[in-house]
A and B are shown apart, each in its own frame.
Chain A
Amino acid sequence: MIPRTVLEDKIRAAWFDAQYLLAEDVREALERAEKQEQLPLARLHFGMNLRSLATTSKVRMPLCGDTGLPVYFVIFGERAIGAVEGGLATVFEVCRDAVAYATREIPMRQDVVDSFTREERIGNLGVGFPHFYQRIEPDTDFIEITAISVGGGPELMGQAAMVMLSLDGIKGIQKFVVENVVRTDSGTNCNPQVVGVGVGGSMDIACGLAKQAALLRYVGERNPRTDLANLEEELLEILNDLEIGPWGLGGKATVMDVHIETVDSHLASLPVAVYMHCPAMRRKTLRFYGDGRVEEGVHNSWFRRGHDEFGARPHYSVAR
């Protein structure tokens, strides 16, 4: 049994943790970046980031002024769905309420607005927001909810294109990624980035993969496919060689990591998408088991479950 009150308390608290603290992996990456940096301005940048982090945990204020669009990544485990008090509707209701509560109490900025009139949506509850990315996982006894605030910056610089792999090889992908990271040299969004690269599928699938790769995979985590892991390492090296640094003012840390995710694609085309997330990685994962146990702060299993030997990812594969 998963009681409604438990869901409510935990999901509300998850937004507070996400906004006040930072995802652990990114925090560590920032600390490493600060140690490596030589240039005074870049050092000042990381020093101030770390000081902000120390302040937030003390005075409990949101880390970044752009508190972002609220999104949830939900994995409904087959055997846990029936255990939720009030059924599936409860999960969605509680998740929406939690966003309104957090917007009022943390507080978060009214970032959700009508696309055309720019009218504010009270409590960040609007059409399509909070957004739910969801999938059903067979033979699993938990419901996993990851709450993430996606800032405006990461959405500004993303790009997708159709690259012809048959003509260009992997170089085409590399060039496209490098090109897009070079665009951050104007300091429009906050470096260092976590770069998500989605390859294959169709336009929408590539974009989705790129975003999920940036948001949900941890800094330092490599793709299980060796060729892709090598490509990730190579891109990471090239991108940090560019010395764009924080705000395009120079520095060693331009990107924190590169995550490539792939599915198969049509014979005629290769969709590639790049998504860059800033260091304000506000994510928190909760796991509610059918028997009432709750796990907090666990590593999300969005990309981790059910890899078959060909490296196919379950959330997009249909026939197995």
Chain B
Amino acid sequence: MSSEHALTTPLRVEDIEDVKAGDTVRLTGCIFTARPRWYRRVLDEGYGLPIDIEALGTNVLLHSGPVMKRLPSGEWKMATMVTMPDWMADGTTGNIRRMLERLHLRAIIGKGELAGTDELCKEHRCLRLITIGTWNDFACNVRRVVDVAWLELGASEAMWVFEVDRMGPFVVEADIHGNSLYAQRRAKREERIKQVMEERGLRQFNYSTPAYPRFLRNFER
């Protein structure tokens, strides 16, 4: 039976010990955003973090490029926000693993499947949360912009720190005990897809396409 947890940042390991894959979570406190260019700067271009996240008490990362509006007073106001699929941040170079090795975060928020989260989250004792029903619901829970850096990358790619109030519900995709929703479901869903294709006579069937060098085909999914 899934349950809802109310968590406050900075998250401690003991806070997230009881959180199981499939539960939902609401977050209060500070979170910061990152998009691919943030990863490139932090991991590949040798930049230090422009904002002291520890001092702000945030150890939760949100993969998102928010839409921000600058008021005449110079203040920033959240217009709307949607999460980004985590594989976009991960790339082909395991960015998320490399980032976790450096920053010791306790939760990352994104969406979609990310291969290997069961291992990764267990190893780094970090929750992986995903948004479902990803529309502006989450944006409404942002109380205040705490800080922003790297605006030269554009308002969406910049690093934002938000103060949030009961933001969620996020679904726990991977907990710190090595359980992952996608990993649990994979066998079942593949079974179902194969079954339906079999019934419709589509499974063994392959349409003919013009020649394509076989060695270039990527069979792995």
A, B assembled together: yes
Partner of A61, one of B80, B133, B171, B208: B80
Chain B CB within 10 A, most for which of A59, A110, A247 = A247
User: Within the assembled complex, what's the spacing in Å between the Cα atoms of A45 and B87?
Assistant: 21
Residues of B within 8 A of A148 (CB): none
Q: Please determine whether B210 and A175 come into contact, CB atoms closer than 8 angstroms.
A: no
Taking the complex as formed, is A294 at the interface, i.e. its CB lies under 8 A from any CB of chain B?
A: no
A232-273 interface code vs B (CB 8 A; 1 in, 0 out): 000000100111101111100000000000000000000000
Taking the complex as formed, is B104 at the interface, i.e. its CB lies under 8 A from any CB of chain A?
A: no
Taking the complex as formed, is A308 at the interface, i.e. its CB lies under 8 A from any CB of chain B?
A: no
Partner of B137, one of A55, A163, A238: A55
User: With A106-B79, A174-B200, A187-B112 as given contacts, are A249 and B185 in contact (CB-CB < 8 Å)?
Assistant: yes
A80-88, A178-186, A215-223: which lies at the B interface? A178-186
Taking the complex as formed, is A49 at the interface, i.e. its CB lies under 8 A from any CB of chain B?
A: yes
Taking the complex as formed, is A35 at the interface, i.e. its CB lies under 8 A from any CB of chain B?
A: no
Taking the complex as formed, is A210 at the interface, i.e. its CB lies under 8 A from any CB of chain B?
A: no
User: Within the assembled complex, what's the spacing in Å between the Cα atoms of A162 and B139?
Assistant: 43
Taking the complex as formed, is B178 at the interface, i.e. its CB lies under 8 A from any CB of chain A?
A: no
A100 CB, min distance to chain B CBs, angstroms: 15
Q: Closest residue of chain A to B181, judged by CB? A: A249
B11-19, B45-53, B61-69: which lies at the A interface? B61-69
Q: Please determine whether B136 and A187 come into contact, CB atoms closer than 8 angstroms.
A: no
Residues of B within 8 A of A108 (CB): 67
Please classify how large the interface on chain B is, using the bins under 10, 10 to 19, 20 to 34, 35 or more. 35 or more
Q: Please determine whether A168 and B80 come into contact, CB atoms closer than 8 angstroms.
A: no
B83 CB, min distance to chain A CBs, angstroms: 8
Taking the complex as formed, is B205 at the interface, i.e. its CB lies under 8 A from any CB of chain A?
A: yes
A273 CB, min distance to chain B CBs, angstroms: 13
A52 CB, min distance to chain B CBs, angstroms: 3
Please classify how large the interface on chain A is, using the bins under 10, 10 to 19, 20 to 34, 35 or more. 35 or more
User: Within the assembled complex, what's the spacing in Å between the Cα atoms of A234 and B53?
Assistant: 53
User: Within the assembled complex, what's the spacing in Å between the Cα atoms of A238 and B197?
Assistant: 8
Residues of B within 8 A of A162 (CB): 209-210
User: With A62-B79, A178-B197, A185-B193 as given contacts, are A48 and B202 in contact (CB-CB < 8 Å)?
Assistant: no
A10-18, A64-72, A312-320: which lies at the B interface? A64-72
Taking the complex as formed, is A298 at the interface, i.e. its CB lies under 8 A from any CB of chain B?
A: no
A208 CB, min distance to chain B CBs, angstroms: 20
Partner of B202, one of A52, A61, A163, A174: A174
Q: Please determine whether A40 and B2 come into contact, CB atoms closer than 8 angstroms.
A: yes
Q: Closest residue of chain A to B132, judged by CB? A: A45
Q: Please determine whether A109 and B65 come into contact, CB atoms closer than 8 angstroms.
A: yes
B115-158 interface code vs A (CB 8 A; 1 in, 0 out): 00000000000000010111111011000000000000011100
Q: Closest residue of chain B to A243, judged by CB? A: B192
Partner of B205, one of A175, A189, A250: A175
User: With A174-B202, A178-B202, A248-B189 as given contacts, are A61 and B79 in contact (CB-CB < 8 Å)?
Assistant: yes
Residues of A within 8 A of B132 (CB): 41, 44-45, 48, 246-247, 249
Q: Please determine whether B201 and A171 come into contact, CB atoms closer than 8 angstroms.
A: yes
User: With A61-B79, A241-B196, A248-B189 as given contacts, are A190 and B134 in contact (CB-CB < 8 Å)?
Assistant: yes
Q: Please determine whether A188 and B85 come into contact, CB atoms closer than 8 angstroms.
A: yes
Q: Please determine whether A52 and B169 come into contact, CB atoms closer than 8 angstroms.
A: no
User: With A40-B2, A55-B136, A109-B67 as given contacts, are A187 and B206 in contact (CB-CB < 8 Å)?
Assistant: no
Partner of B207, one of A55, A65, A176: A176
Q: Please determine whether B136 and A63 come into contact, CB atoms closer than 8 angstroms.
A: yes
Residues of B within 8 A of A243 (CB): 189, 192
Binding site for B on A (CB under 8 A): 40-41, 44-49, 51-53, 55-56, 59, 61-67, 106-110, 113, 118, 120, 161-164, 167-168, 171-176, 178, 182, 185-190, 238, 241-244, 246-250, 280
Binding site for A on B (CB under 8 A): 2, 22, 24, 37, 64-69, 79-83, 85, 87, 111-113, 130, 132-137, 139-140, 154-156, 169, 171, 181-182, 185, 189, 192-193, 196-197, 200-202, 205-210
| Leading 5 A-B pairs by shortest Cβ distance | A48-B133, A65-B82, A172-B207, A52-B135, A187-B112
Beyond the given pairs A65-B83, A175-B202, 8 more chain A to chain B contacts, judged by CB atoms under 8 angstroms and listed by A's residue number, are: A52-B135, A62-B67, A62-B79, A64-B135, A65-B136, A66-B82, A174-B200, A247-B111
Pick 18 A–B contacts, CB within 8 A, sort by A: A51-B137, A52-B135, A56-B135, A62-B67, A63-B136, A64-B82, A65-B66, A161-B207, A171-B201, A171-B205, A174-B200, A175-B205, A178-B202, A188-B113, A243-B192, A246-B132, A249-B185, A250-B185
